[in-house]
Chains A and B, each alone.
Chain A
């Protein structure tokens, strides 16, 4: 069963009725009721009537035109950013992770698919025409999973085609899915990085509902590397629980057993963090999860994080595991403070070279 088989109904924005992608998308979703609506609010009202509005929002698809697609990754105030750009082609995700901030952030937004990809093409052309001094990293995995709906949308190969022959721009497709069939059918694009979120299988089973297993993610990564794609991996969010270290060690060992080190472009690390209003929704939706019952501190940006000494210990431990395979120079941290960066950078012992890509903090 593909993830989009959980979809119950399609809503079509009246303004997008004649939009380019509509027919293609509807053809791939036969036998589903389609309702034309004036605006997304009409759907949100229906979603709010469900006993689990977030769960409901993941079963409804809204086809609409997006006004714009590209923006700088907002990161979080007071953090050492990584200069990332986001490309928001879809909103919301069919997967259901207990730690996902979209549960609060999207507030009842159905899975929203952009039907005006040609507009995106134009916006990207303008983006490419801008003056730049460094390699640009851009990705679609911020407000959606980059590959979860690929069989339906074909967005990945659409973007691959646009980014081909744009060597100064690294397109990242970040996922917890194993659906890479469309990407395997094309000649690999050297500046396309296929990346997967990694967590121990026990965490995937308990906290990442509907996603591919760890082994499925690895097997997809192996196939992608063999096909010639470059890869990225994200240990994010790293969860602390009794036995976490052994479990993450196993993931790292498996990663480097299966994936050739030279195929890896980057590895990011980020421990669990969340805004204050997330636990209430998440506890309601995932009563068996206990990730929110840990010791946290409210940090500089208002988000809750594990205490800094614990975060440091976790980062240092995983950096140590990765450095045994010579990949420590490819590590960066996500949404971390300069204080933590400083310690971890020292740990990496200035081993970072420009053979990955120039991070802004290396200048």
Chain B
């Protein structure tokens, strides 16, 4: 039996005595059987990167050449058909622990590649640390850790010596599971200090403006655009007039000028 175990079980339950089958006369090698069963399954559902890695490893173990995997198998798996992809998949398939976690959170190839750049011990710790985060949070955490580690030329342990990260450092030492939004927030602040500081300053300045209720200000958080967007929820001309009058009165507030100074990169 090369393929169709579940179909036979289903047929039995339905009370069928006979089923059409394709008899393969020639002897199939282990590799050929593996290819048939894998692609029979692959046609039925989406495979995670971890599953793809294991399949590629199995095909490689059964003797399928690297050239054939790159040229024929990787395109079928919807992965870039080149040697670096194969190298990453084989490395991933040999991961001592954590493959299941990567499968469960459906990592992308790019996240796997960054993750595999960490030394073994840090990989283990990272996997435990980010276990409770969502797919996107995990991706972001790995990118932030990778970037900070390289930028600061420090190990993860050293990175966590920063004030505010003591609890995570303790977790690192004790190999405990601990990760949350707060960690991501601290990492973001660390990775994007300039944008964080400016956005914080803009947020504070907007608050100090004491805008009328139901009037709000928005702006481009990347600070590429320099304009403000003013929004008001109004249900009548009277309301509109009231809000506009309140706004006009607030123009004496020096925070307006400060806000535009920050957006236009002037002042401090």
Contacts from A to B (Cβ < 8 Å): 45, 48-53, 108, 280, 283-284, 290, 292-295, 297-300, 307-310, 312, 337, 339, 343
Contacts and interface: CB of A to CB of B under 8 A. Distances in A.
Given A51-B87, A280-B113, A339-B224, A307 B151 contact: no
Contacts of B242: none
Nearest to B265: A309
Contacts of B84: 51-53, 284
A107 to B, nearest CB: 9
Contacts of B66: 49
B225 A339 contact: yes
Contacts of B265: 308-309, 312, 343
28 contacts: A48-B82, A49-B67, A49-B70, A49-B71, A50-B83, A51-B83, A51-B84, A53-B82, A53-B83, A53-B84, A280-B113, A280-B114, A283-B117, A284-B113, A292-B147, A293-B150, A293-B151, A297-B223, A299-B222, A299-B224, A300-B225, A307-B195, A307-B223, A309-B194, A309-B198, A310-B194, A337-B224, A339-B224
Nearest to B224: A299
Q: Which 7 A-B pairs have the closest CB atoms?
A: A48-B82, A293-B151, A297-B222, A293-B150, A309-B265, A299-B224, A293-B147
B83 A49 contact: yes
A284 B83 CA distance: 12
A217 to B, nearest CB: 29
Contacts of B98: none
A50 B81 CA distance: 11
- Residue among A48, A108, A309, A343 with the most chain B CB within 10 A? A48
Contacts of A45: 71
The binding surface of chain B is classed by DSSP as: helix
A77 to B, nearest CB: 13
A298 B83 contact: no
Assign chain B's interface to a size class: 20 to 34
B147 to A, nearest CB: 5
Contacts of A48: 70-71, 81-83
B95 to A, nearest CB: 18
Contacts of B82: 48-49, 53, 108
A302 to B, nearest CB: 12
A3 B100 CA distance: 47
B39 interface: no
Nearest to B109: A280
Contacts of A49: 66-67, 70-71, 82-83
B226 to A, nearest CB: 5
Contact of B194 (A283, A293, A307, A312): A307
A52 B84 CA distance: 7
Contacts of A297: 192, 195, 222-224
Contacts of A295: 191-195
A292 B222 CA distance: 18
